[in-house]
Chains A and B, each alone.
Chain A
Amino acid sequence: MSSVSGLSAAHRIKARDLTMQAALLGLKNTQSIYYTQTGRRWDGINKNLKAWQGEFPHYADCSSFATWCLWNGLDHFGVRDVVNGAAWKAGYTGTMLNHGKVVTKQSNWMRGDLILYGNGFPGHHVAVYCGDGFVISHGSNAGPLKIRWNYRSDFMCCRRYI
């Protein structure tokens, strides 16, 4: 089965590395990343902030942070917006649920997959899976947190975009 991103296996590995680099940079700078649902939540992409250059957005919500992480991995290879289908300019859990593909078995989850929460469409929260049963979740002014994937009771699905 072909990948969502269309990247080769080697490039997918690199895309996951870059995605995780972004998520971990957010975690490292958690006290400098605030929660907003205003237009500033797209600063990370709009200002072309690249984690590999040590750059990260200071404002984001859960979906824009997750999108920024994946954008770091996918835009590097010129991949179109396969996360939200909005040219990397918009998106939320609803558009994420309409893109990518579901990874059913937890044992198959990979770094850079997204974990979506909520009771039915369009979802309510999203976090970046980072392996070993952990996600990095940006859901409040506490900034991105490393936490178990099942810290919420309303797990919906795991989706892959790389």
Chain B
Amino acid sequence: MAKLNIDLAEIVDKQLDPDAVHEPAPLAAFPTAASSPPDEGDSGTDAVPVPVPEGDDA
């Protein structure tokens, strides 16, 4: 685990500093939706690759 943390730190060091960017207003600044439109639901069509069965063509 110690090595993992070191590796992650190295990754972070190679990236730009996200703290330098202006963050959006806090949650409290946004109005609460009085009611929500019906949720459309979720898409499962591309959820996970489905393995193709083999050997059924004969």
Q: Are A90 and B8 in contact (CB under 8 A)?
A: no
Prevailing SS type, chain B contact patch: loop
B-side residues, CB < 8 A to A, are 1, 4-5, 7-8, 11-12, 15, 18, 21-27, 30-33, 35-49
- Sort A-B residue pairs by CB-CB distance and give the 8 closest, nearest first: A139-B39, A52-B18, A37-B43, A145-B33, A140-B37, A24-B24, A78-B11, A92-B44
Which of B25, B26, B30, B42 is within 8 Å of A125, CB to CB? B42
Q: Which chain A residues numbered 11 to 66 have a C-beta less than 8 Å away from chain B?
A: 11, 18, 20-21, 24-25, 27-28, 35, 37, 39, 41, 50, 52-54, 61-63
Q: Would you give the shortest CB distance from A110 to chain B, in whole angstroms?
A: 14
A-side residues, CB < 8 A to B, are 6-8, 11, 18, 20-21, 24-25, 27-28, 35, 37, 39, 41, 50, 52-54, 61-63, 76-78, 84-86, 90-95, 117, 122-126, 130-132, 134, 137, 139-142, 145-148, 151-152
Q: Are A92 and B42 in contact (CB under 8 A)?
A: yes
Which of A24, A35, A93, A94 is within 8 Å of B27, CB to CB? A24
Given A7-B8, A125-B39, A24-B46 contact (CB < 8 Å): no
Q: Are B42 and A93 in contact (CB under 8 A)?
A: yes
Q: Are B18 and A28 in contact (CB under 8 A)?
A: no
- Other than the known A28-B30, A63-B42, what 9 A-B pairs have Cβ atoms closer than 8 Å? A53-B18, A86-B47, A90-B46, A90-B49, A123-B42, A126-B42, A139-B36, A139-B39, A140-B39
Closest Cβ neighbor of B27 among chain A residues: A130
